[in-house]
Structure 1
């Protein structure tokens, strides 16, 4: 274990799978006390158990965090269990559909707004009073699609673009309270979202997203969690209102650059975290009655 977050208390939304699982386990290895939050059907209890088995400290919260009362309950749990709140990780989100806008369903759009936008609003609003006490920080999940926009993903990119602007505005207003606010903007990551078998991408889109990176591969959840760790730690004390791409060079790639990447670039690094749910895909439009 490291100690970069020793004494810190963090909430990680969407913490049961994919990037969220990696963030939860990375923070726990760095000695944060972690509230792993997600839907009741998410494997948050599994993640908490895995953290505890490796000597870390974590507890689970389940509920629909797009409901302000549930967001407040999540924050209250962190304070009740651990005495304070230092870090909010707004990682939760959904990727329900890929379609031309003419065919994009209203149900999927509403679900995007609920889980990618409203959850960020509710959790940030609920957490800020506690974060102001600790001079803490918020790190929110953006996306390279929130910068570039992506064909057949216009609504998804739109929600991430909101998160970018929302977080910059929050950083500007919260500087007077001592709270930092930043964005992590992943590109194609090796989760259920970017595989045709477990997410909404078809074979053509799956190939395009990796060829569109300079490194010719998907990133790993742990590589993204490493950047969350830096931004959430005191090492990033002079960083606020920033959008940090973790995209293998997608934002500056021109054409299918990944085909030309060196073989060493295409190899994922060895991983340190024991991730069990990185390929779990929670992308389907679910019932709103939670």
Structure 2
């Protein structure tokens, strides 16, 4: 166990699968009390149990946090259990469909708005009064797609562009209250979203996604969680309004540079976290 987040209280939305699981376990490993947030059919209870088995402290919250009452209840749980809130991680999000825009379904578009945008808005609104008391911080999930756009998932890139601007505006507005706001923007990560067997990408899109990184591979959830850890910690005390790209060089790659990457780059690091739910999560529209 480390101490970079010693006794801090963190809410992590989308915390039971993919990158969220890694964030929760990394934060707990570094001494945080973690509220693991997910939808009712996410493995929230399992992640809490796994954290506790490793000596960490966590509690589960299950509900749709795009609903204002649920967002408030989530914050209330953190205060009731741990007396304060220091960190909000707006990680919840979905990647439900890939299609050319004329064929992109309205159902998937609405699903993106609810889970990628409204959940961020509602949780931040609910958490800010408590974060102002602790001079805490918000870290929101962006994406390289929020910078570059995402062909065949144009609305997804648009939601991440919103999150980038939202976080920067929040940083400006909340500085007078001592609250920091930043973005961690992953590229292709080894989660359910980037595999044809578990997500909406076809084989051509999956191949081009990894070839478009300078490292020629997906990142791991733990590699992303490591950046969240820094940005959320006091080590980043002079960082606000920033976007940290964790994308293997996707945003600066020109063509399929990953095909030329060194073999050492192409190998995923083994990591330290015991991640059981990396390839789970919502990749299709659910009511």
User: Fold-level match, TM-score > 0.5?
Assistant: yes
1:208 aligns with 2:208: yes
Q: How far off is 1:156 after superposition?
A: 0.1
Equivalent position SS for 2:50: helix
Pairing 1:95-174 to 2, within 5 Å after superposition: 95-174=95-174
Tell me, yes or no, if the aligned pair for 1:191 and 1:278 is still in contact at 8 Å.
Answer: yes
Tell me, yes or no, if the aligned pair for 2:42 and 2:281 is still in contact at 8 Å.
Answer: no
Distance across 2 between alignment mates of 1:30 and 1:171: 25
Equivalent position SS for 1:84: coil
Equivalent position SS for 1:210: helix
Q: Which residue of structure 2 aligns with residue 257 of structure 1?
A: 257
Distance across 1 between alignment mates of 2:286 and 2:153: 19
Q: CA deviation digits over 1:38-69, x for unaligned, max 9?
A: 10000010000000000000000000000011
Q: How far off is 1:281 after superposition?
A: 3.2
Distance across 2 between alignment mates of 1:285 and 1:270: 32
Distance across 2 between alignment mates of 1:207 and 1:242: 30
Distance across 2 between alignment mates of 1:259 and 1:284: 30
Tell me, yes or no, if the aligned pair for 1:33 and 1:56 is still in contact at 8 Å.
Answer: yes
**CA RMSD across the alignment:** 0.4
Distance across 2 between alignment mates of 1:37 and 1:162: 22
Q: Which residue of structure 1 aligns with residue 220 of structure 2?
A: 220
Tell me, yes or no, if the aligned pair for 1:17 and 1:280 is still in contact at 8 Å.
Answer: yes
Q: CA deviation digits over 1:231-250, x for unaligned, max 9?
A: 00000000000010000000
Q: How far off is 1:199 after superposition?
A: 0.1
Q: How far off is 1:7 after superposition?
A: 1.4
Tell me, yes or no, if the aligned pair for 2:97 and 2:108 is still in contact at 8 Å.
Answer: yes
Tell me, yes or no, if the aligned pair for 2:215 and 2:258 is still in contact at 8 Å.
Answer: yes
Distance across 2 between alignment mates of 1:11 and 1:119: 13
Q: How far off is 1:13 after superposition?
A: 0.2
Give the TM-score, by structure 1 length: 0.99
Distance across 2 between alignment mates of 1:2 and 1:88: 20
Pairing 1:2-17 to 2, within 5 Å after superposition: 2-17=2-17
Q: Which residue of structure 1 aligns with residue 231 of structure 2?
A: 231
Runs of 4 or more, structure 1, over 2 Å off, are none
Tell me, yes or no, if the aligned pair for 1:90 and 1:141 is still in contact at 8 Å.
Answer: yes
Q: Which residue of structure 1 aligns with residue 61 of structure 2?
A: 61
Q: Which residue of structure 1 aligns with residue 240 of structure 2?
A: 240
Tell me, yes or no, if the aligned pair for 1:199 and 1:281 is still in contact at 8 Å.
Answer: no
Distance across 1 between alignment mates of 2:270 and 2:43: 24
Distance across 2 between alignment mates of 1:248 and 1:94: 21
Q: CA deviation digits over 1:108-147, x for unaligned, max 9?
A: 0000000000000000000000000000000000000000
Q: Which residue of structure 1 aligns with residue 176 of structure 2?
A: 176
Equivalent position SS for 1:219: coil
Q: Which residue of structure 2 aligns with residue 74 of structure 1?
A: 74
